[in-house]
Amino acid sequence: MIFKRLPQMKAIIYVILFSFLIIGCQDSATSKSDSVTSTEKVYTIESLNWKMDIPENWSNMKQDHIEQYKAQGQKDAEAKFGKEIKNTWVSLLQLERKPGFNTFGVSAKTHNERRDGDYQGGKQLRFDSMKKMQENRGGIRVESTQGKFKIGDLLFDQLSMKLYTSNNNLESFQDVFEYRFPDDDIVIMSLVTSSEVTLNEMRKALANSSFD
């Protein structure tokens, strides 16, 4: 199984889910459900009016994998804080690409920042936490940059990370894109891959996607 073959990459997914739990643990936001439709390789998230042509070899992640990732992230978060934590983020889409370990996910929540509506502060806290938690895995060095990335015709905030092992080998790339819509809903897209070719392939697909 994928969990036995790639424990390091699995840990990255745990960190992503753990970060969402930490940032959301003091919010009272109500998560909204959504439906995703696909025709061949065109995926549509209806509430976002977003369509994307998925590159070759990407497919829906198996539900048992998603549930195991979520369960481990929840377990780690509750162990850290010593209490039950409600996850205020809802997963809208989870894709994976084989061979290798490559994942792409879209998550969202109804806007309700912890610090009196300070969205920029909340976003930076999310980005900083994701970076810090990768560093806390042990033996991992993180190179990161922040900037902007256009997905469709919307300009997302972007956190881009390269993760290196203690032997200075490049382990993986991770992109996190975040956008706040006019109705204050927040959307995060996360891409994890060990291949620069796959990274650029998905970035191109995101740039060519559309919000109707």
Domain range list for the chain: 2-211
pLDDT, averaged across the chain: 76
The topology under which CATH files domain 2-211 is: Protein Transport Mog1p; Chain A (3.40.1000)
The CA-atom distances, in angstroms, between 56 and each of 95, 129, 151, 166, 205 are 12, 32, 19, 33, 11
CA 73/CA 36 separation, integer angstroms: 23
Task: Report the percentage of the chain scoring pLDDT > 70.
Answer: 68
pLDDT in tens, 139-164: 889 999 999 999 999 999 999 999 99
Q: With a cut of 70, say whether residue 13 has pLDDT above it.
A: no
Mean pLDDT across 72-101: 72
CA 78/CA 76 separation, integer angstroms: 6
Q: With a cut of 90, say whether residue 101 has pLDDT above it.
A: no
Instruction: Please count the other Cβ atoms lying within 10 Å of the Cβ belonging to residue 54.
Output: 20
Please tell me what DSSP assigns to residue 26: T
61 vs 36 pLDDT, higher one = 61
Residue among 183, 162, 13 at smallest CA distance from 108: 183
Q: In which band, very low, low, confident or very high, does the pLDDT at 85 lie, cut at 50, 70 and 90?
A: low
Most confident of 111-115, 130-134, 191-195: 191-195
CA 165/CA 136 separation, integer angstroms: 12
Q: With a cut of 50, say whether residue 81 has pLDDT above it.
A: yes
Instruction: Please count the other Cβ atoms lying within 10 Å of the Cβ belonging to residue 68.
Output: 17
